[in-house]
Amino acid sequence: MKPLILGALCAIALAGCSDPEAERQKQAAAAAQEHARQELAAEAIGKQYDSAVAAAEWEKARVHGVALLDQYPQSEVAARIEPELAGIREKAEAARELRRMQALWSYNQVAVKGGAQRSAMLYSKERVDVDGSGPKPVQLVFRDHPQWKRHAYLVLQAGDFAKACYGSCQVTVTVDDQPPRRMAAHRPDTDEAIAMFITDNRGLWRLARKAKVIQIQFPVKNGSQPTAVFEVGGLDGSQMPAGWD
C-alpha cells in the first residue's frame, strides 16, 4: 500500500513542477496575443482619428485622439499621434468657438416690392446703458433692400442718439486689437426706429468679415459715448446677396 501512495505523491509533485521554459513561452504567447489585440483596437481608433483629421473635423479628431492615448497609450498609433495632439486640441477649441459665434448671428429674408430684403443681425455681447434707465441690448444690422440698397446700422432699445447725428456725426470703431478708427454716421429723422446708419456700410462689412470682435463707440442724447461690443467672427457672408463680400 505504501509504494502506491508514494507513487501517487510523486506523480502529483511532478505535475506541480511544470517546465519553467514551457511556462515562460506560454506567458509570452499570451502577452503577444494581448499586444496584437490592443494594436488592432488602437488601429481602429487611429483610422477614425485620421479620417476626422483628413476631413478637418477637429473636434471629432480630438475625441478619438484622447480616447486612443487613454486606452492604448503604449500602442504604435498612440506614439504616432501624440506629438500632434496638442495642435488638434487647439484647432478643436477654435472650431468650437467659431460655432458659438456663428450661433450669435440671425438672418432674415422677406419678400418686398422689387424682390427680397435680406438682413444679418447681431446683438451686443453685453447690454449697454445709453440713457440711465439700465443696460439694454444694442443691435448691429446689415441690410440689403432692392429699393433702399445696402445699409449698416445700430439699433437702440431705449434712449436716443445725439442730436448732432440727425445731420452727421462720427462713431469710433475698434477692430480686435487694431487702433481705433473714426467712421461717419447719421440718424434718420424718423421715429420708426432708434437707428443710426454707418455711412461706409461696405467698409464696416469688410471689417466684420475679417474680425473676431468689433467695438463701436457712439454719441447719445445725454452727452455720453457708450461702447457696444459685437462678437462678429461667425458672420456668414453667403447669407447676403452677391456683391457684399
Q: 132-182 pLDDT, tens per residue?
A: 999 999 999 999 999 999 999 999 999 999 999 998 999 999 999 999 999
pLDDT of residue 19: 78
| pLDDT given at position 190 | 80
pLDDT of the residue at 25: 72
Task: Output the pTM of the full model.
Answer: 0.79
Per-block average pLDDT, block size 10, for the chain (245 residues)?
Answer: 49 57 73 75 93 95 95 93 95 95 97 94 97 95 94 95 93 97 93 89 96 97 96 96 89
Put the strands of the sheet holding 138-145 in their side by side order.
Answer: 106-112, 115-123, 138-145, 149-156, 195-198, 181-186, 169-175, 213-217, 227-231
- What residues pair up with 215 in beta bridges, in sequence order? 174, 229
DSSP state of 165: G
153 CB burial (10 A radius; 0-12, 13-18, 19+): buried
What is the distance between the alpha carbons of residues 144 and 125, in angstroms, rounded to a whole number? 24
The whole-number pLDDT of residue 242 equals 87
